[in-house]
A and B are shown apart, each in its own frame.
Chain A
Amino acid sequence: MQLFKYICRNMLRNKIRSLLTILSVGFSLALMTVLYGFMASQETWKKDAAQENRIVVMNIQGFSGRLPIASVDEVRSIDGVVAAVPYAWFGGTFQEETMPFAQFGTDAEQVFQVWPNFKISPEELTAWQDNRQGCVLDRRIAEKRGWKLGERIRLKGTFYPFDLDLELCGMFDSPKNTDSLWFHWKYLDEGLRQEYPEAAGNSGTIFAKIQDKSEIPAAIKKIDERFASSETPTRSQTEAAFAQMFIDMLGNIQVLIRNIGFAVVFSLSLVAANSMAMSMRERVTEIAVLKAIGFPRLRIMLMILGESCLVAFLGGVMGVGLGCVMLQMMHTAVPQQFPFSIFEMLGPWIAYGFVVAALIGLISGLVPAIRASRLSVIDGLRRVA
């Protein structure tokens, strides 16, 4: 306890220096926290997806390949499949906004069986099912934009030469912000049939809910075998693998982020070590006095290491805190890039910031600590002006 008090006093002796070091460590660690949080959010997406026993069927060639709407019924006939729906990405613009939120053409009869943990009132669901131009969306979108039931939502097609004129029939509650709107796949298809018949009849991707986790591999195999020799061979995968595909697309960015992290940590250690060394130089006499009155070497080393670690730790607390606040702000501002709130993706990665802070503290204090412990008492005392 005595030691800790001494360390605190020492830290507060040059307030500006300690504050600047804390700020410098804090800002860099805030940056690291945000970058790692961004990567963690992708992992969270994957982990979440793994619990839902859903699989995604798409054309083996990727998104550009077609998947005839008849395939949906074939998927439904596979053992273990509880429900399956077409899930066609519309990607329309709303007024002047490109990508306002995600929009999917799907099947109102079964979609809430594929996502059973999304809740909607039965009246709203029936209203949607009965309205050809109806749509439902994540309650968070409606709240953000102040939309009420009956709102007309016009979406201009970008991929499809067809504009949607939708009426809001209901809002669903989901555990996570999905930022999605669902409309009738049939409404889109009927429109396409007139404007551009070649593009009609395409379900895009198919999402299917499987009864039990153990049945997933067999179902995937059966579906792909069923379509293997057709005009449109499929690639079926778990939702987690599907999520991984999007993560992979980012490519080397992750390596870059990691390397930037290392560079930051290294340069920080230098900076922190520098300020620690400056403090030590000013206290040479003092340390000599401590030694002269019988403080053991170890205690002196601990004092100095303790101070550098305390400064780095405070920086770490500030950095991780600031980083988390920023992640939360980004989650509210751009939910498409940051789909999870900070509480949903808490994990070991948060601790990285503290581990790094601890390392910075140790490394930066090490040289000054060793030098102080080796200091000759005579030389130190002689420095008194």
Chain B
Amino acid sequence: MIPAKYNLRNLKVRWVTTLMTVVGTGLVVCASVLTIGLVDGLEQALRVSGHPLDLIVVRKGSTDETSSGLEQSVARDVASLSGIAKSESGQLLCSVEHVTILTKPRRNNGGTTNLIVRGLEDVGRQLRPEFRISQGRDLTPGVNEAITSRQMAERFENLGLGEKLEINHDNFEIVGYFEAGGSSAESEVWTDLRDLTSARRTPGIASSVNLRAQNEAALESLVQELAEDKRFQLSAIRETKYYEDQMESSAFIKYIGYFIAVFLTVAAMFAAANTMYAAVASRGREIGTLRALGFPRSSILISFLFESVVLCLMGGLLGCLATLPFNGLSTGTANFASFSEITFSFQFGPRVLLQGVVLALAMGILGGLLPAIRAVRLNIITALRER
């Protein structure tokens, strides 16, 4: 085997070329990782929203809370079904909720978009992951108060602490910010169920019932019971399935993301190949000498591939490092299931970074292969004769 030191020294001697290739591939990896991180952040927000034992009950035929409507009295009857889990304080984990979409302006002239406002009662908070008030206080029912997340307050007009959101001529004061484990609840404004239905002039109407089953068996019987009972005309969707379907409607963002990553990688591959061809071309004599010393063709092939991989991996690592400042940065786009805003954070977990490194590896191997083969096929005599 040719020692790795040979390649590393070579990279160091030709440092300008090395640096340019590393920065070039680094930027490409950075852009790809950013795109994948964006897609991942969006999926993450939807994924953590689904609890395996939770059900979302909507009117039969609806696939989304925002398009579902049912009588609150019917919704309350759902709570009488058996198999619903109880909280530590003995309260049934079954929440009647009203969801509405308002078209509201974003801050900084970001245009208008759709905003989800959810009216719910206290128990609904226990059905969200890690719900807590991070600033201000929770709302008091009956006096038109609302809470939202910090990200939403930064993105929308009139959602800052102390500001007032108008719903059908009624003003709702924002009194606090909440967090909910990064779930899609953080893309919503919450207010009291009754306050919202009266502002919307639809008293007695709910959109959905969110509930938690005691266990898997209870969950299945609840789904069954709701589907068969003609009195209800409801259908229960597993929360995990519900959010998976939402991911599906945003799938085209994902395709764009991967499309960008693949194209950039191919482009960077050619760049890496270019650098490696130059490396092989200028080292003909060295290669000839190595062959003459008795190194087999396979060692030379591996050696050049290794050099190419090291080159691209350095770029890959640099690219991954460059994304660090973006980690946790929140942004938003449309959730195409409900045509409303969803905020999420860039997530550069091990999975995303690994994809970045894999891209860099692909560049290195595919880009280095042809040049390495050329190095192997050099004729010893002519190679040694080169200047």
Q: Which residues of A contact B (CB under 8 A)?
A: 16-17, 20-21, 23-25, 27-28, 30-31, 34-35, 38, 60-64, 98, 157-162, 196, 198-199, 231, 235, 244-245, 247-253, 256, 260, 263-264, 266-268, 270-271, 273-275, 277-278, 334, 337, 385
- Beyond A64-B66, A274-B274, whether A247 also contacts B111 by CB under 8 A is yes
Closest 8 CB pairs of A and B: A248-B111, A62-B103, A267-B27, A24-B270, A271-B271, A27-B267, A249-B334, A161-B61
Chain A nearest CB: distance from B56 CB in Å?
A: 15
B113-A249 in contact (CB<8A) = yes
B270-A245 in contact (CB<8A) = no
Which residues of chain B from 148 to 181 have any CB-CB distance to chain A below 8 Å in the complex?
Answer: 167-168
Asked if B23 is an interface residue, CB under 8 A from chain A, the answer is: yes
Chain B nearest CB: distance from A198 CB in Å?
A: 6
Chain A nearest CB: distance from B1 CB in Å?
A: 28
Between A21, A161, A337, the greatest number of chain B beta carbons within 10 A of the residue's beta carbon is seen for A161
Residues of B within 8 A of A385 (CB): 387
- Nearest to A59 among chain B residues (CB) is B103
Residues of B within 8 A of A63 (CB): 101, 103, 114, 339
* Docked complex Cα distance between A277 and B331 (Å): 40
Size of the chain B interface, CB-CB below 8 angstroms:
64
A244-B61 in contact (CB<8A) = no
Contact of A158 among B21, B62, B273 (CB under 8 A): B62
Residues of A within 8 A of B331 (CB): 251-252, 256
B61-A157 in contact (CB<8A) = yes
Task: Give how many A-B residue pairs fall within 8 Å (CB-CB).
Answer: 169
- Beyond A24-B268, A27-B270, A158-B61, whether A260 also contacts B34 by CB under 8 A is yes
List 10 interface pairs A-B (beta carbons < 8 Å), by A numbering: A20-B277, A61-B103, A161-B61, A161-B62, A161-B233, A244-B111, A248-B110, A249-B339, A263-B28, A271-B268
B62-A159 in contact (CB<8A) = yes
Q: Which residues of B contact A (CB under 8 A)?
A: 16-17, 20-21, 23-28, 30-31, 34-35, 38, 59-64, 66-67, 69, 100-103, 106, 110-114, 167-168, 201, 205, 233, 249, 252-253, 256, 259-260, 263-264, 266-268, 270-271, 273-275, 277-278, 331-334, 339, 341, 387
A31-B61 in contact (CB<8A) = no
Contact of B263 among A30, A251, A253, A275 (CB under 8 A): A30
Residues of A within 8 A of B277 (CB): 16-17, 20
Contact of B17 among A20, A98, A277 (CB under 8 A): A277
Contact of A277 among B16, B60, B69, B332 (CB under 8 A): B16
Residues of B within 8 A of A196 (CB): 59, 69
A235-B28 in contact (CB<8A) = no
* Docked complex Cα distance between A248 and B107 (Å): 12
* Docked complex Cα distance between A260 and B28 (Å): 9
Between B114, B252, B271, the greatest number of chain A beta carbons within 10 A of the residue's beta carbon is seen for B271
* Docked complex Cα distance between A17 and B256 (Å): 30
Contact of B24 among A248, A249, A268 (CB under 8 A): A268
* Docked complex Cα distance between A277 and B274 (Å): 12
B23-A248 in contact (CB<8A) = no
* Docked complex Cα distance between A263 and B16 (Å): 20
